[in-house]
A = this chain, B = another copy of it.
Amino acid sequence: MSEIAVPPSPAADIPWEQQFATRASGMVASEIRELLKILARPDIVSFAGGIPDPALFPSEAFAEAYRSVFADPSRTAAALQYSISEGHRPLRDWIVAHMAGQGVACSADHVLITSGSQQALDFLGKLMLSPGDTVLATTPTYLGALQAFSAYEPHYQRLHPEGGNQTPDHYLAQAARHGGRPKLLYVVPDFANPTGETLSEAARLRLLDLAEETGALVVEDAAYRQLRYEGLPVPSVLALDCGRRGGIERARSVYCGTFSKTLAPGLRMGWIAGPRPLIEKLVLIKQAADLHSGTLDQVVLGDVAQQCLEDRLPLLCGTYRRRRGAMLAALEASAPAGTTWTRPQGGLFVWVTLPEQVDTRALLPRAVEEARVAYVPGGAFFFDGRGGNTLRLSFSLADEATIDRGIRSLMALVGEFVRGHG
């Protein structure tokens, strides 16, 4: 289709910025997404995007699931039609069984299907946050969560889940100073984006204490939970919560799951599991926001999850485990003195802290041009301006040899930079 010529028109004379809602002033392009567009060059080894390897998608199972829907006229008619906002029942039933496997007893009424876990975060912000309310989050944390919540104009406070001596009263007093209350306590407890770190069970229990004492809701972003490469699983926050409070109806936390990292992100399918009073409101939010997630995609994802999700985890985890190993070994072999990094038990990311004098934003153009390697400067993940000497590396996309070569080139450049400034 040929591009339509747009007639020249004078520059817009409408001062839209003055017309927008106040929340719009905080909406700025994600540094990471802009970076990813620039960095999608075939000659660059990209450790930047946190995206799954498409070679690991169960393409055959998806093809067969779509084919099977279209082979049956009555399934086809239903799959192309409007559906209920709560989500396709067989898919919710699969999630109910999956949650049970994690120690969370629930029913389909405790589950809302969302368009990826990103939409879950948006909806939770919409449900809980009035302007001036407070979100407690670690720094660094998942930037997309901050983008989702920021539309509702909260204030942020730093959470110290593994230590620190902030009392609940401290958080309450700080929140009151900004005219609101602590409403959300956001964590990625397993193999966090961006650090790869996992919260201990003790830290999870302290989070639940803090939620209880401040009245906040814990939002457990479980995006990477199923990608564990070593060590024993830590119970999910929601499972601990149900255990302490006697069931999901009395829980103070919600669990945001996704199929993006285990099956495929392109279908945009995730879920929220939590107590009914919250799910009922979230269903209304879903209805007003987009009526429901795609019917056909929900049907297909229900089939594919049922058929092959559990069976594919060993392949996924084995592949990513080897790539993580290659990255950690290359760092060990080549990182200059004064560099530290995390050793994640799962997920997609290693978090690197370089010597203080290195500015990873300033270093990036040289990394791309000279080392032919891309990463995400860590400052993007902080809401308090710190992290200038940090960077996030993803090991999900490249094979071991390429990872080894890329890390050595990058660390050689860092070494040069450090010596040049030494």
Q: Which residues of A contact B (CB under 8 A)?
A: 1-14, 16, 19-24, 27-30, 33, 37, 49, 51-52, 54-55, 57, 59, 62-63, 66-67, 70, 73, 76-85, 90, 93-94, 96-97, 100, 105-108, 110, 114-116, 118-119, 122, 126-130, 133, 144, 147-148, 150-152, 181, 183, 215, 217, 245-250, 252, 260, 264-268, 275-278, 281, 284-285, 287-297, 306
Contact = CB atoms under 8 A, between A and B. Distances in A.
Contact of A7 (B3, B13, B247, B278): B247
Given A3-B93, A27-B284, A105-B4, A291 B116 contact: yes
A144 B284 CA distance: 11
Contacts of A289: 118-119, 122, 148, 151, 289
11 contacts: A6-B107, A14-B250, A14-B252, A23-B130, A57-B81, A59-B76, A63-B67, A81-B264, A268-B291, A268-B293, A297-B297
B267 A107 contact: no
A130 B131 CA distance: 10
Given A266-B294, A267-B296, A151 B80 contact: no
Nearest to A84: B37
Contacts of A6: 105-107, 110, 247-248
A5 B6 CA distance: 60
A277 B20 CA distance: 11
A27 B281 contact: yes
B59 A73 contact: yes
Q: How many copies make up the complex?
A: 2
B290 A147 contact: no
Contact of A248 (B9, B37, B126, B147): B9
Contacts of A51: 81-82
B57 A80 contact: yes
Tell me which of A97, A116, A268, A292 has the highest count of chain B C-beta atoms within 10 A of its own C-beta: A268
Contacts of A94: 1
A265 B82 contact: yes
Contacts of A267: 80, 294-297
A119 B9 contact: no
A102 to B, nearest CB: 12
A224 to B, nearest CB: 15
A208 B235 CA distance: 58
Given A9-B247, A57-B77, A83 B19 contact: no
Contacts of A276: 12
B59 A12 contact: no
Contacts of A265: 80-82
Nearest to A52: B81
Nearest to A114: B290
B70 A306 contact: no
A199 to B, nearest CB: 23
A38 to B, nearest CB: 13
Contacts of A248: 6, 9
A24 B152 CA distance: 13
A291 B90 contact: no
Contacts of A246: 7, 9-10
A93 B1 contact: yes
A24 B127 contact: yes
B73 A21 contact: no
A127 B290 contact: no
Contacts of A3: 93, 96, 107-108
A421 to B, nearest CB: 36
Contacts of A66: 63, 66-67, 70
A335 B131 CA distance: 52
B105 A7 contact: yes
B250 A9 contact: yes
A21 B127 contact: yes
B290 A116 contact: yes
Tell me which of A13, A66, A90, A306 has the highest count of chain B C-beta atoms within 10 A of its own C-beta: A66
